[in-house]
Amino acid sequence: MAIPMGELITPSSVAGSGVSLSGAKVVFTAATSVSVNGVFDGTHDNYLAVCRATLASGSSVLQAVRLRASGVDDTANNIARQYLAAFSTSVSGARDAVTSAGLIGNKSSGTMSGDHIYFYGPYLTQPTAVRNVNAGNVDSASILDCAFTHSLSTAYDGFTIFPVTSSITGTMTIYGLSQ
């Protein structure tokens, strides 16, 4: 019997200047933030977002993510994050124990970058874990993976991604992972 490993999810709505839906695909152009609502629910425990984007301007600009509920981002310091970075011969890691956003790679203007963002239990009323796997384009190729945990036992139904500066153009699709 063939068992689909995941289900394509259409956001109930999106938010942000330059952000729209094309079917289930989130399309964003020169967006300073990309918010999706109604993507997490009780159907799945875990989710995957696949995102590709270019940055309008700048070099090595961090991109961040926040969970949101009912259209409102959680901006409180409820996140602990650990990153693992490889830039040329420099490999490093660091933990930020109390912060307000997770990281999903960093970008430079120019070539494409991509991210796989795994959400573990965002809609469950328990703390959430998130892991990003990054194909970065800082100096044309780089890695900045991040794992983070969100400490609140709140059911979140969406999330927001945003570059710390500048704007991003690209697409994102979201999947519920089979249980």
Partner 1 sequence: MSNTGMLVSMKPTSISHSGTSASVNNNGGVDFSAVTSLSLNGVFTSDYDNYLVSMNHYAAATTAVYWRFLLSGSDASGSDYTRQLLRADSTTVAGVRESSNTSQRTMNSDPNFSGCVIHFYGPALAQPTAHRDVSANSLNGARIYEYAGTHSVSTAYDGIRFFTDENWTGNIHVFGYRE
Residues 6+ apart with CB under 8 A from 68: 35, 37, 74, 156, 157, 158, 159, 160
Q: Residues 128, 102, 53, CA angle at the centre, nearest 5°?
A: 115
User: Measured between alpha carbons, how far is residue 171 from residues 24, 71, 128, 129, 145 in Å?
Assistant: 10, 20, 24, 23, 19
Strands (E), 56-127: 61-69, 72-73, 79-87, 90-99, 102-107, 113-120
Work out which of 21, 56, 80, 86 binds partner 1, going by CB under 8 A.
Answer: 86
Per-residue binder mask for partner 1 (CB under 8 A), 149-178, x = binder: ----------------------x-x-x-xx
- Ranges within 3-32 binding partner 1 (CB under 8 A): 3-8, 23-25
* Residue 97 binds partner 1, judged by CB under 8 A: no
Work out which of 15, 48, 124, 147 binds partner 1, going by CB under 8 A.
Answer: 48
The single-letter code of the amino acid at 8 is L
* Residue 179 binds partner 1, judged by CB under 8 A: no
* Residue 35 binds partner 1, judged by CB under 8 A: no
User: Measured between alpha carbons, how far is residue 66 from residues 35, 74, 122, 165, 169 in Å?
Assistant: 9, 6, 11, 16, 19
- The DSSP string of 4-20 is -SEEEE--SEEESTTEE
* Residue 82 binds partner 1, judged by CB under 8 A: no
**Smallest distance, partner 1 to C-beta of residue 89, A:** 6
The single-letter code of the amino acid at 93 is G
* Residue 137 binds partner 1, judged by CB under 8 A: yes
8 Å CB contact between 156 and 124: no
Identify which of residues 72 and 141 has a Cβ nearer to partner 1 in the complex.
141
Identify which of residues 78 and 134 has a Cβ nearer to partner 1 in the complex.
134
**Smallest distance, partner 1 to C-beta of residue 28, A:** 13
Identify which of residues 38 and 114 has a Cβ nearer to partner 1 in the complex.
114
Residues that bind partner 1 (CB under 8 A): 2-8, 23-25, 48, 50, 52, 54, 84, 86-91, 110-114, 116, 133-137, 139-143, 171, 173, 175, 177-178
